[in-house]
A and B are shown apart, each in its own frame.
Chain A
Amino acid sequence: MIWSNDLSTFVEKLKAYSKPGYYDEFDYHWTMTIDLDRCTGCEACVVACQAENNLPIVGEKRIARNREIKWIRIERYWEGDFPDVKMGFIPMLCQQCDDAPCETVCPVFATYHNQDGLNTQIYNRCIGTRSCAIYCPYEVRYFNWFTYTWDEPLEQQLNPDVSVREKGVMEKCTFCIQRIRIAKDKAKDDDQRRVRDGEVVPACVQGCPTEAMVFGDSNDPEAKVSKMMKNPRGYAVLEELNTTPSIVYLKKAHA
């Protein structure tokens, strides 16, 4: 709360808050690069994410009605007919946009931008208006249409670090914020140092067999992800919409 400050800092803060882009500097700016040349479309990242984040088992019938919950999905695009098919895979997950259109519309602040550059989703606050999913151009937000349950003994494999969502709540990729939290806590205990590059590995990055995904803090110029971002093949999906996503895709080099 800013009431406790004296008048000049109060006015200063008010002026700062009236400018867009209040958080010009993030504490950590978590970014990911995905090398589409290395992606084989194996969907190991999808499975890893489902295991790590307690994603519900929606079931075949409901997925056929377009109600799947896959925080990361592999989009397939192909040209040509068999046997001359050229296929490309784009893993599509929440882009954690810095100018996220979804954050602006939530009436109860269930989604907002935190100081780590992440677009967070607060399950307890969500009342299920679903307007964030309308506003998201990447279609990466998923709604719990029902309260999904796990049959015995599948509930034993649930991750205790992640909550389980009830019906009526929106969810999406969080860059495995639970792993980020654990790493930051460990770093704080370890003499208040910063999180080192490679200490935070989201489930999808961990699961990728070809190491197509690289994750790290782009505020750190020495981090692997900062170097990968500078690759001339780099682009952002739908960047003309000015959402400034935090995921840089490295374009597939065509033979």
Chain B
Amino acid sequence: MFDQGQPSYADVNKDVLSSMLETGPRYWVLLGTTMSVAVICFFMPWVYQLFVGIGAAGMNRNAVWGTYISNFIFWIGLSHSGTLLSAVLHITNSQWRKSIYRSAEAMTLFSLMTAALFIMVHVGRVWFVHWTFPIPNPMGLWPNFRSPLMFDVMAITTYLTASSIFIYMGSVPDFAAVRDASTGLRRRLYTIFSFGWRGTAKEWHTLGWAYTFFAVFVIPLAVSVHSIVSWDFALSIVPGLHHTIFAPYFVCGAIYSGTAGIVTVMYCLRKFLGFEKYIGQVHLDNLGKLLIALSLIWSYINILELFSTWYGGTSFEIEALKFRLTGFYAPLYWEMILFCAFVPLLMLFKKFRLSWNKMLVISILINIGMLTERFIIVATSLPRKFLPNAFGFYFPSWVEISITIGSFAIFATLFLIFIKWVPAVSIYEVKETLKPLRRDA
């Protein structure tokens, strides 16, 4: 697993903690850039929209949902990466996950936060959005728990809580390592963060069991979250959206886009934090194989959708299908098919799968394809509902495009802050993969 020879335990501490404790000017420049882009591209247009009204976006009478919802779904999808890697592979006891799961979990958490921001941007009267929570109030009014959007609220709240707890608990021993290696204010802060962790057998025992239970809870949660998000669409009667395949489609798409996101993040970690020792060919190989499997499942589900729509022959569905395949957004649709169904097949060849640069390109193309997939679902179904007189057209406005760009900057900012506050590679789990020192060696 280690391409450059096995490091010692002390080396692991040194490498990972130096990435956290030593900061060069390049980091500050990068952080400053992402923060400025986030403010200028996300928050300023949002404030403009708060004053002027949702009309600043490009939505209209048919397409009342637009890029805000499609981006929201994209970011929730991206968040499934950490859960898969961290929780599922923990239960199956895989070894190659140990050096990369911490960053994947961080991706989960920050994608969820970005997605939650999109809900705030999307809603017409944000200042009342707390009414969707069951908070006791003098009016005696409660939210409508029969509503698919309420399933969404509960699911995402649960997922945010569970993911934060999951990543925090898993990092407690590493916070202790940071505490031991630092001085002054940082030492005091991390003493609090690490709860005074010493590493006794009892503490490891309890943590191991608690962590396994978190993993066992989080896996069905992740599956349910994106199924519920898909039901915002599938529980409507809109042609093109009202398909039972939506729940598996979205969950598969989520894990797919999340895993591609992990490849991108791993490339950046290797390049910028010098983790080449810990993230090597075996990770790339396994992630590549995972991506191939997911790409095939995704293609299969797409074929199912097309086939059952066409075979059913309902006039409304055929019209929606025609608009999707041959209408204004047809180039986007075919681009999505190219990037998500055909380009990943290149990974069947070792030449592509084991090269970091090629995998970076492929993973970014996959995510671009998935982003357009969400957009296609919204923009080609809503303008073609039932009454032909009411057909319309949707094109995003500058506010929406800017906010989309800004959301990537927000994610990058959160991730950049993360790598300086939490060890990006899990120190103790990497030590578990190393062969223990032997007296006779």
Q: B275-287: contact bitstring with A at CB < 8 Å (1 yes, 0 no)?
A: 0000000000000
The answer to whether A105 and B236 touch (CB under 8 A), given A127-B132, A128-B125, is yes
Complex CA gap A130/B65 in Å reads 7
Query: Which segment, of A33-41, A45-53, A106-114, A211-219, faces chain B?
Result: A106-114
A–B pairs, 21, beta carbons within 8 Å: A65-B60, A66-B61, A77-B389, A92-B389, A104-B146, A104-B147, A105-B147, A105-B149, A105-B235, A105-B236, A106-B147, A107-B147, A108-B128, A109-B141, A127-B126, A128-B125, A130-B59, A130-B65, A138-B390, A139-B390, A168-B53
The answer to whether A134 and B382 touch (CB under 8 A), given A66-B393, A129-B124, is yes
Q: Which of A75, A131, A138, A146 contacts B52 (CB 8 A)?
A: A146
> Is B387 located at the chain interface by the 8 A CB criterion?
yes
> Is A169 located at the chain interface by the 8 A CB criterion?
yes
Distance from A22 Cβ to chain B, minimum over Cβ atoms (Å): 12
In the complex, chain B residues 294-318 whose Cβ is within 8 Å of any chain A Cβ: none
Query: Which of A76, A133, A142, A168 gathers most chain B CB within 10 Å?
Result: A168
Distance from B251 Cβ to chain A, minimum over Cβ atoms (Å): 21
Distance from B144 Cβ to chain A, minimum over Cβ atoms (Å): 5
* B392 touching A145, Cβ below 8 Å: no
Complex CA gap A125/B147 in Å reads 15
* B124 touching A241, Cβ below 8 Å: no
> Is B248 located at the chain interface by the 8 A CB criterion?
no
* A107 touching B150, Cβ below 8 Å: yes
A-B pair number, CB within 8 angstroms = 137
The answer to whether A131 and B232 touch (CB under 8 A), given A104-B147, A108-B144, A138-B386, is yes
The size bracket of the interface on A is 35 or more
Instruction: Kindly list chain B residues whose C-beta atoms are within 8 Å of the C-beta of A137.
Output: 237-238, 385-387
Distance from A167 Cβ to chain B, minimum over Cβ atoms (Å): 4
The answer to whether A128 and B124 touch (CB under 8 A), given A105-B149, A142-B61, A238-B386, is yes
* B235 touching A92, Cβ below 8 Å: no
* B385 touching A139, Cβ below 8 Å: yes
Distance from B90 Cβ to chain A, minimum over Cβ atoms (Å): 34
Main secondary structure, interface of B, reads loop
* B236 touching A167, Cβ below 8 Å: no
* B143 touching A108, Cβ below 8 Å: yes
> Is B148 located at the chain interface by the 8 A CB criterion?
yes
Q: Which of B54, B142, B237 contacts A167 (CB 8 A)?
A: B54
Q: B370-413: contact bitstring with A at CB < 8 Å (1 yes, 0 no)?
A: 00000000000010011111101100000000000000000000
Q: A96-134: contact bitstring with B at CB < 8 Å (1 yes, 0 no)?
A: 000001001111110000000000000001111111011
Distance from A3 Cβ to chain B, minimum over Cβ atoms (Å): 13
Q: A74-94: contact bitstring with B at CB < 8 Å (1 yes, 0 no)?
A: 011100000000000010100
> Is B290 located at the chain interface by the 8 A CB criterion?
no
Instruction: Kindly list chain A residues whose C-beta atoms are within 8 Å of the C-beta of B52.
Output: 146
Residue of B nearest to A142 (CB): B61
The answer to whether A107 and B144 touch (CB under 8 A), given A137-B385, A143-B64, A146-B55, is yes
Q: With A127-B124, A130-B65, A139-B385 given, name 8 new contacts (CB 8 A).
A: A67-B60, A105-B148, A106-B149, A108-B132, A129-B123, A133-B64, A134-B236, A143-B124
Instruction: Kindly list chain B residues whose C-beta atoms are within 8 Å of the C-beta of A90.
Output: 389
Distance from B307 Cβ to chain A, minimum over Cβ atoms (Å): 23
Please give me the 6 A-B residue pairs with the lowest Cβ-Cβ distance, nearest first: A128-B124, A168-B124, A145-B55, A66-B60, A167-B53, A75-B389
* B54 touching A128, Cβ below 8 Å: yes
> Is B270 located at the chain interface by the 8 A CB criterion?
no
Q: Which of B65, B126, B153, B389 contacts A107 (CB 8 A)?
A: B153
